[in-house]
Amino acid sequence: MRLGNQKGMTLVEVLIALVILGVIASGLATALTVSHKTTFGVNQRTTAESLTRTELEYIKYIAYDDSLDPGHPQYDVDPNINIPAGYSIEVAAERLDPKGDGIDNDDGIQQVTVEVYFEGELLLTTESYKVNR
């Protein structure tokens, strides 16, 4: 309500402008939070994929282990790999019997599983094969 020739904004107009600004600011803050969480998740996944590829390449080039314990077959993790804090890798191998002869050997092929964890939570499981060449 203005008297005569007075210029300026009323208290109600200022309050409405502040409410609108607050709504916009809270929406922006929510968007930034969601964006940060998404980026963090993508970075975790990218790191897990990189660790997996590195580990599978290491397994590819080490000697074939035909004496794996059938109860807990496992290849060692690459000792030269730089594992970031919070991440861990588990590698397991399973003897396969593609010939179906039932003999206690793996017929020269094993299924290798690499699992990458972040702070105890499984991020990525990748399966591949190692053959005796």
pLDDT tens digits, 61-105 = 888 776 666 555 577 788 888 899 999 999 888 877 777 676 656
Q: Judge residue 92's burial from the number of C-beta atoms within 10 Å of its C-beta, 0-12 exposed, 13-18 middle, 19 or more buried.
A: middle
Average pLDDT of the chain is 84
Give the count of alpha carbons within 13 A of 43, CB side only. Answer: 8
121 vs 72 pLDDT, higher one: 121
Give the residue carrying structure tokens 């588990």. Answer: 90
CA–CA gap between residue 88 and residue 10 (Å, rounded): 62
Greatest alpha-carbon pair distance for the chain in Å reads: 104
Residue ranges of domains in the chain? 11-131
**131 pairs with which residues across the strands?**
109
pLDDT band at residue 121, thresholds of 50, 70 and 90? very high
Nearest Cα to 115, choosing from 71, 70, 74?
Answer: 74
Q: How far apart are the first and last CA of the chain?
A: 91
